[in-house]
Amino acid sequence: MTEQPSTIIKPTGLRAGDTVAVVAPASNLKAEYLARGVAELERLGFRVKHRADILDKAWYTAGSDQRRAEELMEAFADPEVKAVWAARGGYGVMRLLPLLDEAVLRANPKIFIGYSDLTALHLYLYRRFGWVTFHGPMAAKDLVGGEEHYDREILLAALTQTQPTGELKSSKTEMLHRGSGKPVSGRLLGGCLSLIVAMIGTPDELDTRDSILFLEDTGTRPYALDRMLQQLRLAGKFDEVRGIVFGEMTDCFQNAEQGYTLQEVLADCTADFRIPVMFGLPSGHSPGGNLTLPLGVMATLDADRCVLSIDEAAVG
């Protein structure tokens, strides 16, 4: 079984005027979306840089594995860059993990933000280095649509403030199970369910013990979500989890006439865990109000109030 890192490393918080690097370690980008995302980052008060070849294409990825790995390494090694910001998800990150230089990364902890396919890199950076990373809006996707597509206040608080962001409230959340009814606390970990399952059996599979486990996905049929949850169960990944928070799970349905809800499926899959289980937190594949979740910090899930709270600052 994998083990939790012995030390948690928090990156330095961002300040107005800091430089962020936009990177494309997964699928290829549209130039228009990249330009609009860069403009939004600049409106947030940051300088932005990216490689000239970020728009490269190789099948379904943003250029070759070598190009994308070099781009990541350059961004983390660049002393001018204070945050590494994923442009979009899709596919390709798992192909890069053997190409990354652990020694260089270990010496350069920085803010890293993204979701979806970037979950593989979140797991890698947490398992190997104990880094706090950020499950949040991506430059050439969520930021493209402006502020209605992401929660600007929570984003900036998570990345810039050296105090906890506190309660993450959303009208979209509901409790599937209350557990004991008492608030539970643990280290907030997780990401895209498909990638968490795909990383099982690798050196960077997620150790979920004593965690508040966040799971989200998109465009996945309920039976496939059920199957992945059963895999996590059989792998022992729910044995010592303190609470579960599901995302909105956008477009996760069989068909319009299926006769059951996704909430019913997820509630059934987690019915015997005897822990609080929340559904509907808008982070990751969410069409609006995308919340930034700092992964690796302590959090509390309060079933009675249906609230997830971030209890620890994510940056130093």
Per residue in 56-97, pLDDT tens?
A: 999 999 999 999 999 999 999 999 999 999 999 999 999 999
Instruction: Note the Cα 254 to chain centre separation in Å.
Output: 25
Burial class (CB in 10 A: 0-12, 13-18, 19+), 224: middle
CB 170 within 8 A of CB 234: no
Residues 6+ apart with CB under 8 A from 1: 207, 236
- pLDDT surpasses 90 at 172: yes
C-alpha 313/C-alpha 99 separation (Å) is 31
C-alpha 225/C-alpha 205 separation (Å) is 18
Per residue in 233-292, pLDDT (tens digit) is 999 999 999 999 999 999 998 888 889 999 999 999 999 999 999 999 999 999 889 999
- pLDDT surpasses 90 at 140: yes
Greatest alpha-carbon pair distance for the chain in Å reads 55
Domains within the chain, CATH numbers bracketed: 19-160 (3.40.50.10740), 166-310 (3.50.30.60)
C-alpha 197/C-alpha 237 separation (Å) is 10
Active site (catalytic) residues: 116, 216, 285
